[in-house]
Amino acid sequence: MDQISMDFLVQLLRIKNAKKILEIGTAIGYSALQMSQVSNEIQVVTVERDVNMFERALSNIEKLKKQKQIHPIFGDALKVQQEVEERAPYDLLFIDAAKGQYQKFFELYEPMLKEDGLIVTDNVLFRGLVADSTDASKRLQKLSEKIDQYNQWLIHHPDYVTTIVPIGDGVALSVPKRNIGV
């Protein structure tokens, strides 16, 4: 996540007064660490399947002494649902992992949100390739098509209102319709 998008996410946490966050896609722990800086009350449960990234995240969390706020879970986010659910409900779900799996992550973890929860999905414009991938490799074209399908699914979701904010690599904000009188 680039700095502008991170600043945006951190501001959303402040506005929402989020205390419990679920992050799908820890990587090296950067986002979880940034989110934990907003308040000492914030708890971040974060899932990572790449062992090298997971170990780097653990090291970074330890260096900054954030073990009491950040709770890493090692494993495939599509397979660790039970462990994640033990810490539910969450105020915010942050999806920033395997882009081709975004819809599955959304569907799996959305039920663990509080009634007024917010879902934030990163990289939904995918370097502009979602709009035009003609010059990209076949692999990137296929991935950008999957992201576009996810975006369309989000925009037309019967229970959520979604806005795609064109900052950084694109951030989607999804709120339950029941919370806004729609």
89 lies in some domain: yes
163 located within any domain: yes
CA-wise closest residue to 61 among 29, 96, 94: 29
- Would residue 105 count as lying in a domain? yes
Residue in 86, 84, 83, 102 with CA at minimum distance from that of residue 22? 84
Structure confidence by residue, pLDDT tens digits, 8-56: 999 999 999 999 999 999 999 999 999 999 999 999 999 999 999 999 9
**Residue 127: inside a domain, yes or no?**
yes
DSSP 92-126: EEEE-S-GGGHHHHHHHHGGGEEEEEEEEEE-SSG
CATH, residue 43: 3.40.50.150
And the tokens for 113? 């949100």
Number of domains in the chain: 1
Residue 182 lies in a domain: no
Q: How far apart, in whole angstroms, are the C-alpha atoms of residue 17 and residue 84? A: 21
Tell me: the pLDDT tens digits for 104-135?
Answer: 999 999 999 999 999 999 989 887 777 878 88
Domain that holds residue 139: 3-177
pTM for the full model? Answer: 0.93
